[in-house]
Amino acid sequence: MPADPSSLNVPFSVTFLHRLRMTNDIFGRDAAVLSDLIEPSEGRRPRVQFWLDEQVATMNPQLPQRIQAFCRKSAGCMDSSTKVQLVPGGESVKNDVHIIERILRCFHHADLDRRSYVVVIGGGAVLDAVGFAAAIAHRGIRLIRIPTTTLAQADSGLGVKNSINLFDRKNWVGTFAVPWGVINDRTLLTTLSDRDFLCGFSEAVKVALLKDAAFFRLIARSTGEICHRGDVCTSIIARSARWHLKHITEGGDPFEMLESRPLDFGHWSAHRLEALSGFELRHGEAVATGVAIDTVYSSLVHGLPRADAEAVMRCLSELRLLRSHTALQQTDDLFDGLEEFRQHLGGRLTVTMLRGIGHPIDVHEIDHDRMRQAIDLVVDRTAAIRQSDCL
Ligand SMILES: NC(=O)c1ccc[n+]([C@@H]2O[C@H](COP(=O)([O-])OP(=O)(O)OC[C@H]3O[C@@H](n4cnc5c(N)ncnc54)[C@H](O)[C@@H]3O)[C@@H](O)[C@H]2O)c1
Ligand SMILES: [Zn+2]
């Protein structure tokens, strides 16, 4: 049969490069790591603009000057004449669509183009908002992320998406965009509050449960050292980052076109909980609760051994991540999260559950009675934690 010339289906692929660097002092002795990521463009010095999470600037008052000193030293190979720009930290930056316009205007006033670099330093929320603006300006300015939270270093900073919240929905507007580079700097984490520091470990637990049972056991036996912010934290964050990177680069579906989104394990309820709590619950805490719920559900319905589910609950509570919140009692509202999760991707509902630790499965139906039971068990556990004053 001759091919129909009026109907062409032509597959094509594009190769991306994901660059992850790990440093100890990115605006000091490791500054070359950042300048090496900034490539000259046909002999011209590329323009570079720095964006900084306001809270990070408050906690590190010397940071803007250190960035400016870096810019002066690198003036031979880049043009970063605009001052360091500040944006509010935390979810508020993602809840105000007008901030995006302000960011875009700054890009425009600095004449940034597609060979320019936006360097964003901050928590996952700031990375998402500035990253979204960088992705839509000129259809994509090069983005270098310098994550400053454990969560962003262990997970979101490596991701190939960005977003802000709209219509009371998490991440309703956003794009897929591979960052030019990601620099995980260890010392930037030192000013994090204990609460925010521990939050990142929920995503490490999540990826360990999906991919690497030995990694989960390491986290579970290190909870005391993690709570004291000991050395083990660096290797756990790095291992979590590598797993996320591996999933994105080798998992076969970086732009989430298929129905399964395993890295969103526990997130159908987590995103809903964040919104229902008016963002009082941090993403990491909501994820810990969501992971706990789906782990217990997996033990009730999908054969995950009870002892494994108990080990996960113990690990998350020892990490002080299971916070009690009234949002958890709004079960019907919570179930709306399932439909939002389905609707975000389209097609049929696909949620990741566990058959064992390191053995994820996709399921397409949720038994609401069993899920209520799982939620109740997690609520009981979080209430018990509160009473024993662990938080
Ligand atoms: N794009 C993705 O693939 C992806 C994946 C997972 C999560 N996320 C998003 O990431 C966001 C959560 O990010 P997060 O957990 O990093 O928290 P966050 O960005 O909300 O930061 C928490 C708080 O810590 C402050 N902070 C950040 N770094 C600090 C530092 N070094 N010292 C002192 N304070 C600091 C922030 O200003 C904020 O007040 C959520 O919006 C979530 O949806 C995105
Ligand atoms: Zn997450």
Task: Report the share of the chain in percent with pLDDT over 70.
Answer: 98
- Closest Cα to atom 6, ligand 1: which residue? 156
49 Cβ neighbours under 8 A, 6+ residues apart: 80, 82, 85, 106, 107, 110, 112, 116, 117, 118, 119
124 and 145: one domain?
Answer: yes
159 and 279: one domain?
Answer: no
Amino acid (one-letter) located at 31: A
Atom of ligand 1 nearest to the CA of 161: 1
Q: Where does a domain end: 147, 165, 191?
A: 191
User: Contact at 8 Å (CB) between 274 and 168?
Assistant: no
pLDDT tens digits for range 218-253? 999 999 999 999 999 999 999 999 999 999 999 998
Query: With 60 as the cut, is the pLDDT of residue 391 above it?
Result: no
Asked, for residue 241, whether it belongs to a domain, the answer is yes
Lowest mean pLDDT among 9-23, 135-149, 327-341: 327-341
151: CA distance to ligand 1 center in Å? 7
User: Contact at 8 Å (CB) between 49 and 85?
Assistant: yes
3-state secondary structure of 369: helix
Q: Which domain holds residue 259?
A: 194-387
pLDDT of residue 42: 81
343 and 260: one domain?
Answer: yes
pLDDT tens digits for range 246-291? 999 999 989 988 888 899 999 999 999 999 999 999 999 999 999 9
User: Contact at 8 Å (CB) between 131 and 166?
Assistant: no
263 Cβ neighbours under 8 A, 6+ residues apart: 155, 206, 207, 210, 244, 247
Task: Report the share of the chain in percent with pLDDT over 90.
Answer: 82
Asked, for residue 354, whether it belongs to a domain, the answer is yes
Backbone region of residue 353 per phi and psi (left: phi > 0; alpha: psi in -120 to 50; beta: other values) = beta
- For 115, list phi and psi in degrees, rounded to 5: -100, 5
DSSP state of 228: T
184 and 199: one domain?
Answer: no
Asked, for residue 88, whether it belongs to a domain, the answer is yes
**Is residue 343 very low, low, confident or very high in pLDDT (cuts 50, 70, 90)?**
confident
Q: Is ligand 1 within 6 A of the CB of residue 90? A: yes
3-state secondary structure of 292: helix
281: CA distance to ligand 1 center in Å? 12
316 and 171: one domain?
Answer: no
pTM of this structure: 0.93
- Closest Cα to atom 15, ligand 1: which residue? 151
Q: How far is residue 56's CA from residue 263's CA, in Å, rounded to a whole number?
A: 27
217 and 296: one domain?
Answer: yes
| CA terminus-to-terminus distance, the chain | 70
354 and 246: one domain?
Answer: yes
pLDDT of residue 170: 87
What would the mean pLDDT of 338-357 be, rounded to a whole number? 90
Asked, for residue 166, whether it belongs to a domain, the answer is yes
163 and 227: one domain?
Answer: no
Q: Where does a domain end: 191, 216, 240?
A: 191
What would the mean pLDDT of 297-318 be, rounded to a whole number? 98
- Closest Cα to atom 2, ligand 1: which residue? 156
> Ligand 1 pocket: which of 156, 190, 195, 281 to mutate (most atoms <8 Å of CB)?
156
148: CA distance to ligand 2 center in Å? 15
- Closest Cα to atom 9, ligand 1: which residue? 124
Domains of the chain: total: 2
User: Contact at 8 Å (CB) between 180 and 143?
Assistant: yes
Q: Is ligand 1 within 6 A of the CB of residue 153? A: no
Query: With 70 as the cut, is the pLDDT of residue 310 above it?
Result: yes
The closest of 243, 247, 218 to 233, measured between CA atoms, is 218
- Closest Cα to atom 22, ligand 1: which residue? 90
pLDDT tens digits for range 127-177? 999 999 999 999 999 999 999 999 999 999 999 999 999 998 889 999 999
Q: How far is residue 257's CA from residue 371's CA, in Å, rounded to a whole number?
A: 27
State the CATH number of the domain containing residue 53.
Answer: 3.40.50.1970
Q: Where does a domain end: 160, 191, 222?
A: 191
H runs (alpha helix) in 137-282: 150-154, 194-211, 213-221, 223-227, 232-250, 267-276
Asked, for residue 51, whether it belongs to a domain, the answer is yes
**Is residue 388 very low, low, confident or very high in pLDDT (cuts 50, 70, 90)?**
very low
pLDDT of residue 382: 85
Asked, for residue 12, whether it belongs to a domain, the answer is no
88 and 207: one domain?
Answer: no
pLDDT tens digits for range 163-216? 999 998 889 999 999 999 999 999 999 999 999 999 999 999 999 999 999 999
State the CATH number of the domain containing residue 332.
Answer: 1.20.1090.10
What would the mean pLDDT of 334-342 be, rounded to a whole number? 89
Amino acid (one-letter) located at 163: S
Q: How far is residue 355's CA from residue 357's CA, in Å, rounded to a whole number?
A: 7
115 and 170: one domain?
Answer: yes
Asked, for residue 5, whether it belongs to a domain, the answer is no
